[in-house]
Amino acid sequence: MLILGIHDGHNATAALLKDGEIIAAISEERLTRRKNEPGYPVMAINKVLEITGSTPADIDYVALASEFLHPKEFYMDWNWYKRGYEEELYEKADTEVFEQYKNKRLEERKETIIDHLGIAKDIIVVVEHHLAHASAAYFGYGKEGCLVLTLDGSGDGICATVNRGLNRIAETPNSASIGKIYSRVTYLLGMKPWEHEYKLMGLAPYASEDGVKKSYQVLKKLIRVDNGSLVFRNNGLSTNFCYQYLRKYLENHRFDHIAGAVQKLTEDVVLNWVRNAMNNTSEREIACGGGVFMNVKLNMLLCDIVDNLFIFPSCGDESLAIGAAYYVYYKHENRMPKPFNNIYLGPEYAQEEVSSFCEQLKDCNVYKSANINKEIADLLSDGEIVARFNGRMEWGARALGNRSILANPSDLNKVKELNIMIKARDFWMPFAPTILHERQHDYILNKKEIESPYMMVAFRTTKRARKELAAAVHPYDYTARPQILKRKSNPNYYDLIKEFEKITGIGAVLNTSFNLHGEPIVCSLEDAFYTFMRSGLQFLAVGDYLIEK
């Protein structure tokens, strides 16, 4: 059975599931080269079909995530944050006008799919937003009956659910959304909502305790989770319309104090909600989906209170395509799909294509290496920074070795060099390491052996990490967001780090995404070379080839 999963909203994505296993997935942004590209992912759909050698005629079902989504233009206009346009529609969700608009939009979305693929309408199955998030988490984890939590800004009128497996126990309307509070604070501080929330999380540790307390008193009036409750509650002011409240009552508060306060608020209310859910269900293994769980510092604290934690990788709305495909498979086959254990789901290039591309490059020194991993390891140990383009592209928000920029994690000077010459990141933002699985306890505190192959959890670090991984640890609170790498996940990348370990004794590298600031991670050979030439990078490894300016 072949199922095409589609998310056609913010950060539009396509995924293919074959006989219960996700075999391809890509977000539209990687192909259009516009960050978080919204709308119908025509290029991504074409690409996953191409990657797998499939045609529209091979598709048994199309799993369309979310019952309601706005047109593409809506997601490109941030002014609605000021006027609460989306929320006004949901305030009228029981009116005939809204239902007509909702049905009209759904028919438009279906017609777009039919026109593109030439398929029958009756094979399109619509999967409710939070059901798709829950399905991604539940089936991605693969443990029957576990506690499943979803939490985001909003989707089909709600923002949070508590589930045993896929049996929904409780849900929260989007009028009490911690995700909306966080996104509106992001907008208030002059950053892009739905994209730059991670910057506030990175900034939060720098704020003074007294300053955070002051801003926290303002924010806590917006939302709470009562003891024993499985839902979030607003305190009289709908979080849909909190932007003007924030502007009024946070005026003259320092930006870092505000960032620290919204992070603390998120941690406090979500931890209380999760404790309540565990107490109500007696389950201590949890699987999570939805954009709020992209907050790796929150996830670190969740690790403290659970027996085991699975966060679906890149669990924002880009994961809806995968979750919807999982659900449709489950409903039609009446069995669990295969757990998610491979994130390298994008395109790759044959050796002949790589050779042809590299050997025609001009204005660079290009040569094929007999041992490219040792070449890269030697360069890293000598203080060089190397971009790596190898194998199938990673799906999702994180670069996990195949479309990455690598550096020696012990060299603090690399932070400044990466920021000035290549990444142009905000000065307070930390970089992250890839750590060999067998070396993790040298660097992070992880007594429960929580798996972290996709950079979805932060960990407290050891004294050794603060020396050997100094450039890949948060400089203020000494946490790290590692990719803990087993060889079976990515043998070639693993072997590269082993070569670096032989030279330096360090079982990790600094790993940041191969892109310029504000652009998507590179996808094609052309993207890689174009980004390389526009940056301060000196070395680019493409397959077995090393390119030097």
DSSP states along 241-286: G-HHHHHHHSTT--HHHHHHHHHHHHHHHHHHHHHHHHHHHT--EE
- Two structure tokens written together for 535: 């940056």
**How does residue 74 score in pLDDT terms, banded at 50, 70 and 90?**
confident
Handedness of CA 452, 457, 462, 465 (dihedral sign): positive
How is residue 395 annotated by DSSP? P
Q: What is the pLDDT of residue 85?
A: 45
What is the rounded end-to-end Cα distance, in angstroms, of the chain?
A: 48
Q: What's 287-327 look like in SS3? A: EEECHHHHCHHHHHHHHHHCCEEEECCCCCHHHHHHHHHHH
Q: What is the pLDDT of residue 89?
A: 53
- Two structure tokens written together for 284: 């201590």
Q: In what helix (H) or strand (E) does residue 513 lie, and over which residues does it extend?
A: strand 508-513
Q: What is the pLDDT of residue 241?
A: 84
298-303 long-range contacts (CB < 8 A, ≥24 apart) are: 298/266, 298/267, 298/270, 298/271, 299/456, 299/457, 299/458, 300/457, 300/458, 300/459, 300/460, 300/479, 301/267, 301/271, 302/270, 302/271, 302/274, 303/446, 303/448, 303/450, 303/457, 303/459
Contact 453, 493 (CB under 8 A): no
Q: What is the pLDDT of residue 362?
A: 86
Secondary structure (3-state) at 496: helix
Average pLDDT for 463-491: 97
Secondary structure (3-state) at 529: helix
Query: Quick one: angle between helices 525-534 and 351-359, nearest 10?
Result: 40
The structure tokens 């309408």 sit at: 121
CA separation for the pair 539, 537 (Å, rounded): 6
Q: In what helix (H) or strand (E) does residue 494 lie, and over which residues does it extend?
A: helix 491-504
248-254 long-range contacts (CB < 8 A, ≥24 apart) are: 249/218, 250/188, 250/215, 250/218, 253/211, 253/214, 253/215, 253/218, 254/207, 254/211
**Segments making up each domain of the chain, as ranges:** 2-130, 142-315, 351-548
Secondary structure (3-state) at 152: strand
Q: CA nearest 445: which of 459, 463, 457, 434?
A: 459
CA separation for the pair 465, 510 (Å, rounded): 12
Compute how many other C-beta atoms are within 10 angstroms of the C-beta atom of residue 448: 12
What's the chain's average pLDDT? 95
The residue that leads in pLDDT, 193 or 469, is 469
**How does residue 133 score in pLDDT terms, banded at 50, 70 and 90?**
very high
**How does residue 52 score in pLDDT terms, banded at 50, 70 and 90?**
very high
Tell me, which fold does domain 2-130 have in CATH? Nucleotidyltransferase; domain 5 (3.30.420)
**CA max distance for the chain:** 69
CA separation for the pair 403, 347 (Å, rounded): 11
CATH code assigned to 351-548: 3.90.870.20
Decide if pLDDT at 372 tops 80: yes
Q: What is the pLDDT of residue 105?
A: 95
CA separation for the pair 376, 388 (Å, rounded): 9
Cα 9 vs. chain centroid, distance in angstroms?
A: 15
Decide if pLDDT at 174 tops 90: yes
**How does residue 83 score in pLDDT terms, banded at 50, 70 and 90?**
low
Tens digits of residue pLDDT in 14-31? 999 999 999 999 999 999
Decide if pLDDT at 348 tops 60: yes
Decide if pLDDT at 525 tops 60: yes
**How does residue 100 score in pLDDT terms, banded at 50, 70 and 90?**
confident
The yes-or-no answer to whether 142-315 and 351-548 have a common fold is: no
Phi and psi angles of residue 57, each rounded to the nearest 5 degrees, phi first: -65, -20
Contact 297, 201 (CB under 8 A): yes
Average pLDDT for 241-249: 91
Domain at 142-315, CATH homologous superfamily: ATPase, nucleotide binding domain (3.30.420.40)
**How does residue 99 score in pLDDT terms, banded at 50, 70 and 90?**
confident
Q: What is the pLDDT of residue 221?
A: 97
DSSP states along 29-67: HHHH--TT--S--HHHHHHHHHHHT--GGG-SEEEEE-S
Q: What is the pLDDT of residue 460?
A: 98
Q: What is the pLDDT of residue 421?
A: 81
Residues whose CB is less than 8 angstroms from the CB of residue 442 and which lie 6 or more positions away in sequence, other chains included? 462, 464, 465, 468, 507
Average pLDDT for 345-369: 94
CA separation for the pair 185, 178 (Å, rounded): 11
Q: What is the pLDDT of residue 240?
A: 85
Q: What is the pLDDT of residue 132?
A: 98
CA separation for the pair 17, 6 (Å, rounded): 11
Q: What is the pLDDT of residue 75?
A: 75
Q: Alpha helices, DSSP H only, in 172-254?
A: 178-188, 197-203, 209-219, 243-249
How is residue 536 annotated by DSSP? S
Q: Which residue type sits at 108?
A: E
Average pLDDT for 521-542: 97
**How does residue 80 score in pLDDT terms, banded at 50, 70 and 90?**
low
| The total number of residues written for the chain in this structure | 549
Decide if pLDDT at 92 tops 70: no
Tens digits of residue pLDDT in 407-452? 999 999 999 999 988 888 888 999 999 999 999 999 999 999 999 9
Q: How far is CA 206 from CA 134, 329, 455, 477, 512, in A?
A: 34, 46, 22, 8, 22
The residue that leads in pLDDT, 474 or 94, is 474
